[in-house]
């Protein structure tokens, strides 16, 4: 068996059924074997960064390893921004990079792949020989899983063409995740603080999104008479709970913010309590904080805490409930029918002046309306820019893995690639991408990937005809924002030309028609939402 075939076979032995990427001379044989000999699915992107971002979206939405492949030289350098994003987002990802012949003295496309990878923060592993190729792939898969970052597996083309007899271990199993129990002294101290609080809140983060941890968090909240809240990353975890205060931090709603302001104790489960969650201190100052995380490095990293506990979020929440039972603790009355009613009655449109008119809509009003009109069981992906406040604040998601905002590197233009992978990973659930016109122009070829691979994608382009974030920065400096304005073409005909369906919203009355087009869709849809660049929202208030 040739090495390229052995590698493709080993991928399937690791449970990989989908590979994203772009082919060239140094990876096309692996791709061909994966599809034609081993029954895999290959999703072809028009740019390599799109393939890596799609693998990232796939991993995020499924919890599985994301896999992408590129050819040598410029193909790998095209992935660097995406690799930085995936590294900083702790996504387990395997990138198989073909490389030029080891024996060749000069090749136009040669570059030191280890050095190129190093700056991104991703890991690197080289296929050492034909005989070790399957073992090398296993090492890379294991590293991606346990190190929770991309690993670039470098495969020189001349090794790929050699014969091998893959008898070595196909897998190096990653250790199963374990759930460390809390230290009794740390637990006692925490329970002392919790028991003396009168208005506790249970806050869950990404470290508490598995089913056991989420139900333990709910039991703890019920036992304490506490409302629940989540970090932005864990948005949707408590969907349906009538005392869910929603996102804790920068995106807290006005009504929930009042209750969070009143809280005297926060029990944070698997949440890093970074500056966004803390709303730059405003939401945590003066409160007693119990901080639970399986990783000791996370405890108190961003915020001083009163009771740090190293432990699995679910097991620790259970242990706290048991101790409260032993103490015959009386639940607080913070969680109340009045709180549930105030949250249910809250109407987000009440908290701002709608600015729609003159051929544009207010993005907040538009997003709030779309929240009710889009299918409720959806994934939401955002790009970056001024507009991002609207989807992150006003679009609901059914569970945390259904929300992805690839902003760990602060880059514009990563949303559409990620959305392709999210849609591929969750075929039963439409994926809604919200991006700006600048981000869309940076990545729009990926819309056609969704068309070619029959993915259920709905794109909402928040089109203010400008780099809106920079427009408002110019105004902040008291400067003319003219250079941030861009006369892009209309996006609806572009969507049609790329094989999907485009529709334009210029007026609030157009929203129903856009929703009807979405409802009738047989392929990807793009909604070009015309906005006034001068309207500032969210962070820019
Ligand atoms: C790769 C990259 N290039 C440039 C920037 C600087 N930048 C930040 S926001 C932004 C504007 C994006 O415009 P758009 O997508 O239209 O969204 P808007 O801000 O208008 O809502 C730019 C250019 C960046 N963050 N990343």
The predicted-structure confidence for 472-486, as pLDDT tens digits, reads as follows 999 999 999 999 999
Name the H helices within 403-540: 415-425, 437-443, 445-452, 468-476, 491-497, 510-519
Q: How many Å apart are CA 41 and CA 36, to the nearest integer?
A: 9
Residues with CB under 6 A from ligand 1: 384-387, 410-413, 436-439, 462, 464, 466-470
Q: How far is the CA of 467 from the centre of ligand 1 (A)?
A: 6
Ligand 1 mean position to 415 CA, how many Å? 12
Q: Is the pLDDT at 279 greater than 90, yes or no? A: no
Question: What are the distances in angstroms from CA 466 to CA 381, 437, 535?
Answer: 21, 7, 12
Taking the C-alpha atoms of residue 362 and residue 369, their distance in angstroms, rounded to an integer, is: 11
CA 466 / ligand 1 centre spacing (Å): 9
Element (H, E) at 527: strand 525-530
Q: Which atom of ligand 1 is nearest to the CA of 385?
A: 19
Residue 468 half-sphere exposure, CB side, CA atoms within 13 Å? 29
Instruction: Look up the pTM and report it.
Output: 0.96
Round the average pLDDT of the chain to a whole number and report it.
95
Distance 24 CA to ligand 1 centre (A): 31
pLDDT of residue 102: 86
| Under 8 Å between Cβ of 203 and 248 | yes
Q: Which residue has the tokens 């009440």?
A: 350
Per the CB < 8 A criterion, the answer to whether 46 and 21 are in contact is: no
Give the count of beta carbons closer than 10 Å to the beta carbon of residue 286. Answer: 9
How far apart are alpha carbons 201 and 273 in whole angstroms?
Answer: 14
Lookup result for tokens 């409302």: 227
Beta-carbon contacts of 403 under 8 Å, excluding residues fewer than 6 positions away, are 232, 233, 235, 236, 379, 380, 381, 397
Which pLDDT does position 168 carry in this prediction?
59
Q: Which residue has the tokens 């119990």?
A: 290
**Residue 185 in contact with residue 242, Cβ under 8 Å?**
no
Torsion angle in degrees (nearest 10) through CA of 252, 257, 259, 265: 70
d(CA 12, CA 246): 40
Per-residue confidence (pLDDT) for residue 172, from 0 to 100: 63
| Nearest ligand 1 atom, CA 441 | 15
Instruction: Please list the residues that pair with 470 across neighbouring strands.
Output: none
Q: Model confidence over 186-221: pLDDT tens digits?
A: 999 999 999 999 999 999 999 999 999 999 999 999
Residue 541 has pLDDT above 90, yes or no: no
What distances in angstroms separate CA 228 from CA 239, 313, 316, 499, one per listed residue?
10, 14, 16, 43
Residue 540 has pLDDT above 70, yes or no: no
CA-closest candidate to residue 423, choices 415, 31, 83, 70:
415
State the distance from the centre of ligand 1 to the C-alpha of 475, rounded, in angstroms.
16
Q: What is the model's pLDDT at position 301? A: 85
CA distances from 206 to 214, 342, 389, 401 (A): 10, 27, 20, 9
Identify the DSSP state of 127: -
- How far apart are the C-alpha atoms of 332 and 340, rounded to whole Å? 15
Percentage of residues in the chain having pLDDT higher than 70: 97
In this structure, what DSSP letter does residue 9 have? Answer: H
Residue of minimum CA distance from atom 25 in ligand 1: 411
Mutation test residue for ligand 1: of 53, 366, 467, 485, the one with most atoms within 8 Å of CB:
467
The Cα–Cα gap between 191 and 524 comes to 51
> In testing the pocket of ligand 1, which one of 88, 385, 461 has its CB within 8 Å of the most ligand atoms?
385
**Tens digits of per-residue pLDDT, 365-415?**
999 999 999 999 999 999 999 999 999 999 999 999 999 999 999 999 999
- Residue 123: strand, helix, or coil: strand
Confidence (pLDDT) at 539? 59
Measured N-to-C along each axis, helices 48-62 and 445-452 cross at an angle, to the nearest 10 degrees, of: 60
- Grade residue 181 by pLDDT with cuts at 50, 70 and 90: confident
Q: What is the pLDDT of residues 508-518, one digit of tens each?
A: 999 999 999 99
Pocket test for ligand 1, best of 78, 412, 435, 531 (most atoms within 8 A of CB): 412
| Distance (Å, whole) CA 496 – CA 507 | 21
pLDDT digits (tens, 9 = 90+) for 161-179: 999 998 755 566 666 777 7
Q: Which atom of ligand 1 is nearest the CA belonging to 440?
A: 15
Residue with tokens 């393939």: 51
Instruction: Read off the tokens for 353.
Output: 């002046």
Query: Is a pLDDT exceeding 80 seen at residue 452?
Result: yes
Nearest residue (CA) to ligand 1, atom 3 = 412
pLDDT tens per residue, range 290-333: 999 999 999 988 889 999 999 999 999 999 999 999 999 999 99
Q: Judge whether residue 343 has pLDDT over 80.
A: yes
Q: What is the pLDDT of residue 118?
A: 98
């Amino acid at each position: 068996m040739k090495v390229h075939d052995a590698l493709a076979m080993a991928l399937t032995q690791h449970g990989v059924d989908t590979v994203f990427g772009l082919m060239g001379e140094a990876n096309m044989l692996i791709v061909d074997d994966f599809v034609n000999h081993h029954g895999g699915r290959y999703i072809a992107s028009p740019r390599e960064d799109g393939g890596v971002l799609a693998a990232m979206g796939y991993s995020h939405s499924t919890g599985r390893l994301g896999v992408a492949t590129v050819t040598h030289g410029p193909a790998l350098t095209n992935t660097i921004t995406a690799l930085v994003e995936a590294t900083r987002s702790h996504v387990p990802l395997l990138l198989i990079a073909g490389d030029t012949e080891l024996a060749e003295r000069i090749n136009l496309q040669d570059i030191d792949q280890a050095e190129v990878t190093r700056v991104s923060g991703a890991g690197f592993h080289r296929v050492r020989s034909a005989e070790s190729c399957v073992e090398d792939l296993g090492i890379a898969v294991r590293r991606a899983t346990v190190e929770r970052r991309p690993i670039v597996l470098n495969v020189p083309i001349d090794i790929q063409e050699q014969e091998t007899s893959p008898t070595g271990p196909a897998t190096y199993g990653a250790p199963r995740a374990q759930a460390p129990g809390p230290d009794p002294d740390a637990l006692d101290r925490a329970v002392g603080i919790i028991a003396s609080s009168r208005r506790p809140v249970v806050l869950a983060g990404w470290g508490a999104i598995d089913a056991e941890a989420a139900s333990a968090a709910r039991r703890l909240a019920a036992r304490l008479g506490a409302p629940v809240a989540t970090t932005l990353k864990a948005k949707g975890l408590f969907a349906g709970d009538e005392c869910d205060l929603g996102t804790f931090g920068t995106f807290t709603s006005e009504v929930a913010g009042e209750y969070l302001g009143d809280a005297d104790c926060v029990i944070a489960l698997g949440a890093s309590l970074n500056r966004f969650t803390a709303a730059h201190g405003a939401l945590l100052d003066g409160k007693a904080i119990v901080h639970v995380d399986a990783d000791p490095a996370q405890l108190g990293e961003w915020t001083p805490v009163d009771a740090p506990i190293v432990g699995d979020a679910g097991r620790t929440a259970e242990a706290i409930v048991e101790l409260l039972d032993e103490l015959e603790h009386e639940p607080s009355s913070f969680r109340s029918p009045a709180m549930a009613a105030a949250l249910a009655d809250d109407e987000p449109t009440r908290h701002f002046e709608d600015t729609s008119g003159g051929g544009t809509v207010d993005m907040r009003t538009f997003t709030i309306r779309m929240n009710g009109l889009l299918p409720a069981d959806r994934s939401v992906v955002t790009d970056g820019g001024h507009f991002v406040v609207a989807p992150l604040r006003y679009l609901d998601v059914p569970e945390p893995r259904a929300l992805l905002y690839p902003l760990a590197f602060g880059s514009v233009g990563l949303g559409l690639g990620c959305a392709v992978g999210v849609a591929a990973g969750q075929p039963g659930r439409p994926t809604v991408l919200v991006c700006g016109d600048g981000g869309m122009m940076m990545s729009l070829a990926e819309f056609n990937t969704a068309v070619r691979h029959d993915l259920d994608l709905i794109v909402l382009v928040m089109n203010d005809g400008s780099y809106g974030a920079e427009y408002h920065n110019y105004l902040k400096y008291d400067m003319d924002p003219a250079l941030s304005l861009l006369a892009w073409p209309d996006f609806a005909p572009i969507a049609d030309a790329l094989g999907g369906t485009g529709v334009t919203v210029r007026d609030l009355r157009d929203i129903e028609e856009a929703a009807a087009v979405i409802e009738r869709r047989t392929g990807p849809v793009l909604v070009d939402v015309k906005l006034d660049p001068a309207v500032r929202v969210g962070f820019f208030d």
